[in-house]
Amino acid sequence: MTTALAPPPPAPPAVPVATGLGRPASSRVAETGVWIGIGAISMTFAALTSALVVRASDAPDWHHLHLPALLYINTLVLLGSSLTLETGRRHPGRAPLALSLTTILGGLFVMGQVIAWRQLMTQEIGGPSSAFFYVLTALHAAHVLGGMSGLVYVRHRMRAGVVSFVPYNAASLYWHFMAVLWLYLLTLLTLRG
Amino acid sequence: MFSVDHKVIGRQYLDLALVAVFTGMVLSWLMRFHLGWPDTPIPGLGKIAPGGAAGGVMTPEYYLALMTMHGTIMVFFVLTTAPFAGFGNFLLPIQVGAEDMAFPRINMMSFWVTLVAFLVLVAAFFVGDQPPLSGWTAYAPLSAVGKDAGPGQGWGQTLWAISIGIFCIAQLLGSLNFIATTLDLRTRGMSLARMPMATWAWFITAVIALVAFAVLMPACILLILDRVAGTSFFIPGGLVISDQLQPHTGGSPLLWQHLFWFFGHPEVYVAILPGFGIVSQILPVFARKPLLGPKVFIACLAAIAFLSYTVWGHHMFLSGMNPFSATLFSVPTLVITIPAAIVTLLWIGTIYGARLRFTSASLFALGFVSVFVSGGISGFFLAQPSTDIYLHGTYFVVAHFHFVMGVAAMFGIFAGTYFWFPKMFGRMMSETLGKWHFWLTFIGVYCIFMPMHYLGLAGNVRRYSAFTDDYLQPLIPLHRFITIAALVTGAAQLIFLYNLIRSRLRGPQAPDNPWEATTLEWSTSSPPPHDNFGGRRPVVTQGPNEYAVAGPGGRDYIMQAESR
């Protein structure tokens, strides 16, 4: 048989290239994975948006929500966390600190969301609009928690001495998407919730 | 057991599908027996289900529960799990020349999450009165209100919704891996145009699944909340069920149907497109001719994928949807038959004038074309609202979807199994048993599902557990014929099971390329080593369709990693 095979791959570079989430592979693959994930998550929230629009139309039991003011502070926290992460990307020396700060801010955001839910519960509005509020924000918070575990993972890799911005960039992409998604949800809930 | 090797994970998916398919088949046997002889007790059933089948004769509610579990198990845990997740996992990385999936640990997780989903669904047999009875489509509001809606609608239905929600997560993770692997891990020389047809099909299926399951997942969350948290997403106000006023307001049952079928229709393509790919890869091998119009084939797959998102309303012509919307959904439904018909013509064109090698794999591939066409033709009648109004609630629909997605996808699975078994296990399957299996199954499925078209035209309603109405009684002998055919065809699957087990243990050693095929999996050992190519990644120089050419050593084919 004259099967042509590639020569054995060259010896690994002195600085290992890590792609995050799996074994070292193509340097693009982590980012590709995040883009695909963004597609799926967008579809999930698009489905919930269409459900909200259908449910809100002609519904006599739909009461407009007064969103707790805390949500706007949470928004600032989340946007701030995007900024810290981006700072780390531009100044590699500060990357580990940026990862830790971003993770802490992400945690503050989720805590703030939980407090906002408790405030909303005391309003005793109930009904479909608050049900959508809880579903949308909880699902978003769950995705933020997933993003935080990704940040912790990237931070862990850096501590292990792997110097690579491939997983950092992929995690940043996901994290910024979380911020964009939250701005969208806030707009949706303000206008239609 | 907790391997991150895509080949192990692929085999785990296939093993799970094997358990699921025999479970689903036994359920269909019970249903078919009851339809033929509604008053005759089924031995042992009374002991297994004292609530639903006291004395061995099932209640109508228990019949519906069996139907629900049959449909759910078959659609999700067989037709999605085997051709897409199972074969795709084993073969896609090898066919593109990769060592593994892009994210091996996520890949492992997706299998174990699928298994959890299956166990949660099966648990519905053992908790509460009986399994759920809302059908595999779980139409609201009866699926959303809880146990007032009947036996099995308490815990059983909640477990159903949780199981499917979990399943969605597993498939999303799986699809993510398929897409990323295809895009980023192709070996040198493996351009998109040189990708094998099966890989193309798995890739496009993954794109469909990613979007579809991303919609079903939140729908399941809303359904669970309606059931356990007292929300009213799908339950309207003033609803009285079993003399109980339901404490809900303002929800929309149609909303569930829209969300479900937005997933549900693409899902049938998730089930069937891998079969398209498998058949398109197998037919040229045994016809010793290149596939006719590979680029047209890929374009048709892409067109089907796009159109699959525009047709979901054709499941809802009778659901109370605006009649004008019905026309809107009818048009793309008819349009989607065009790429499907082109693909069929490409297959026929491929085997036209060829000296076919009749093996179990090629017979099942040909059988796939046959049952897919048979099932597709009845689709024309159902795509038009005017005829669908009469046919929708009848056995005509049962015949249609069993042929076009159920049996066709199963034939794709069988063809794939006979074709790739030597690569997976390093041993050959028995061709004699395989051919017996093919002919009994092929004749059997026509005996089961062809008469159902007639039943449907005669007005035989589906979902009933017995046909005691005057106008239906003359149809009972035909039902008995179908039942006997189903029992025999089911029993013929034991030949397949025996062949699988025996060949795995004692089959003759398989060479690396027993079928003289071109794609990369055949240029490595059978079974492939852990990293697929023994530490050296292949360089691709050919397309996957180099048959009937002057190859090296006087062969009539050139493998993808060979030079001319």
Distance from CA of A7 to the nearest CA of B (A): 7
Query: Chain B, 508-537: which have a CB under 8 Å from a chain A CB?
Result: 523, 533, 535-537
pLDDT band at A21 (very low <50, low <70, confident <90, very high): very low
Taking an 8 Å cut-off on Cβ atoms, the answer to whether B249 and A60 are in contact is yes
User: Residue ranges per domain, chain B?
Assistant: 6-236+249-554
Residue A7 has pLDDT above 50, yes or no: no
At B536 the pLDDT is 86
Over B406-460, what HEC string results? Answer: HHHHHHHHHHHHHHHHHHHHCECCCHHHHHHHHHHHHHHHHHHHHHHHHHHHCCC
Instruction: Choose among A3, A54, A131: nearest Cβ to B252.
Output: A54
For the residues of B109-174, what is the DSSP string, one character each? HHHHHHHHHHHHHHHTTTSSSSS--STTTT-TTTTTS-GGG-TTTTHHHHHHHHHHHHHHHHHHHH
Give tens-digit pLDDT for A95-128. Answer: 999 999 999 999 999 999 999 999 888 876 668 8
CA distance to partner chain B, nearest, from residue A47 (Å): 6
With a CB cutoff of 8 Å and minimum separation 6, the contacts of B380 are B334, B337
Give the end-to-end CA distance of chain A in Å, rounded to a whole number. 67
Distance CA B268, CA B372 (A): 13
Residue B244: its H or E element? strand B244-245
* B199, pLDDT greater than 70: yes
pLDDT at residue A27, as a whole number: 65
Mean pLDDT of B22-51: 94
Question: Which of 3.40.50.360, 1.20.210.10, 1.10.3720.10, 3.40.50.1980 is the CATH number of B6-236+249-554?
Answer: 1.20.210.10
pLDDT confidence band for A13 (50 / 70 / 90): very low
pLDDT, residue A124, reads 63
C-alpha pair distances (Å), A166 with each of A33, A177, B548: 12, 17, 45
Counting beta carbons within 10 angstroms of the beta carbon of residue B474, is it exposed (0 to 12), middle (13 to 18) or buried (19 or more)?
exposed
What is the DSSP code string of B151-163?
TTTTHHHHHHHHH
**pLDDT tens track for B85-110:** 999 999 999 999 999 999 999 999 99
Phi-psi region of A17 (alpha: psi -120 to 50; beta: other; left: phi over 0): beta
The whole-chain average pLDDT of chain B stands at 95
Domain covering A29-57+69-192 assigned CATH 3.30.1330.100 in the classification? no
Render pLDDT for B268-304 as a digit per residue (tens, 0 to 9).
Answer: 999 999 999 999 999 999 999 999 999 999 999 999 9
- Nearest chain A residue to B519 by CA: give it: A3
User: Does residue A159 register a pLDDT over 50?
Assistant: yes
Query: Which residues of B, range 38-67, sit inside 8 Å of A by Cβ?
Result: none
Instruction: Find out whether B483 and B401 touch, Cβ atoms under 8 Å.
Output: no
pLDDT, position B379 = 94
Distance CA A27, CA A12 (A): 14
Reported as a pLDDT band with limits 50, 70 and 90, residue B331 is very high
pLDDT, tens digit, for every residue of B407-426? 999 999 999 999 999 999 99
> Cβ contacts (< 8 Å) between B179 and chain A: which residues?
32, 36
Query: What's the average model confidence in pLDDT over B327-335?
Result: 93
- Give chain B positions within 8 Å (CB) of A153: none
Mean pLDDT of the B519-527 span: 95
Is the per-residue pLDDT at B365 higher than 80? yes
- Beta strand B240-241 with B244-245 is antiparallel
Q: What pLDDT is stored for residue A2 in this prediction?
A: 39
Chain B partners within 8 Å of A46 (Cβ): 215
User: How far, in Å, CA of B477 to CA of A156, rounded?
Assistant: 69
Between B408-425 and B431-457, two packed helices, what is the crossing angle to 10 degrees?
160
Interface contacts (A, B; CB < 8 Å): 135
Q: Which of B234, B388, B216, B409 is nearest to B313 (CA)?
A: B388
Looking at this protein, which amino acid is placed at residue B80? T
Fill in the amino acid letter for B493: Q
What would the mean pLDDT of A16-39 be, rounded to a whole number? 67
- Give the residue-averaged pLDDT of B508-526: 96
% of residues, chain B, pLDDT over 70: 100
Q: Which of B184, B250, B537 sits opposite A26 (nearest CB)?
A: B184
Q: Which residue bears the tokens 């269409």?
A: A50
The Cα of B349 is separated from the nearest Cα of chain A by a number of Å equal to 30
**Given this model, what pLDDT does residue A162 score?**
64
Q: Given a cut of 70, is residue A16 above it in pLDDT?
A: no
Tens of pLDDT, residues B118-139: 999 999 999 878 999 999 999 9
Copy the structure tokens of residue A93: 């020396």
Least confident residue range of A26-30, A44-48, A164-168, B329-333: A26-30
Measure CB to CB from residue A6 to each of B258, B537, B559 and give the nearest one: B537
**Closest CA–CA distance from residue A184 to any residue of chain B (Å):** 17
Q: How far is B250 from chain A (nearest CA, A)?
A: 6
Instruction: Give the helix/strand (H/E) hosting B241.
Output: strand B240-241
Q: Which two tokens stand for residue A145?
A: 């928690």
A55: which chain B residues are within 8 Å (Cβ-Cβ)?
233, 250-252, 255
Substitution target in A34, A36, A135, A181 with the highest count of B β-carbons within 10 Å is: A36
